[in-house]
Amino acid sequence: MTLKKMEKGWSIATRCSEERLRRVHGWDEEQLEDAVRRGLVLLETVCVFVHGCIKLPVEFWKILHFEYGIVVYPSALTECMAPSGLGTSQTFAEIYSSHIVMLWERDSECPPRCPFEFLTEPLPLYEQ
């Protein structure tokens, strides 16, 4: 799978994550915007990607940890998750809460950048 396809899938998963969080928690637009800024939608989207068994480059996991404080433990990729309430009453982040964690919430007015933006940035030029 190419980075372009992964990035497109990410944007679709992000929209689905926003809708799921809005529906499950009963959030209005302002609460959803706050969740986006704090990185909670990003965390939900990461969990959706893991649940969907999307194979991602190693650098992606490093970016999640370094830029967003999100750690995906190997158990998230190896243990079978049987979410009984996932259809209506639970989020993916709740299902994976002991396997995928956010070490800190963002404190910013700007929404987080898409992790794929970091992967597609050109490397800095070498200067002597």
* More confidently predicted of 76 and 30: 30
pLDDT of residue 85: 53
Q: Is there a contact between 80 and 45 (Cβ–Cβ < 8 Å)?
A: no
Of 40, 102, 100, nearest in space to 76 by CA:
100
pTM for this predicted structure: 0.82
Rg (CA), the chain: 15
pLDDT tens per residue, range 59-107: 888 888 988 899 998 888 888 776 655 667 788 888 888 899 998 877 7
Q: Which amino acid is at 96?
A: Y
Is residue 121's pLDDT more than 90? no
Cβ neighbours for 7, distance < 8 A, ≥ 6 positions apart: 114, 116, 120
* Strand residue runs (E) in 24-111: 70-72, 100-102
- pLDDT band for position 1 (cuts 50, 70, 90): low
pLDDT of residue 114: 83
**For residues 31 and 41, what is the distance between their CA atoms, to the nearest angstrom?**
11
Structure token digits, residue 13: 């998963």
pLDDT of residue 90: 84
Structure token digits, residue 27: 């959030």
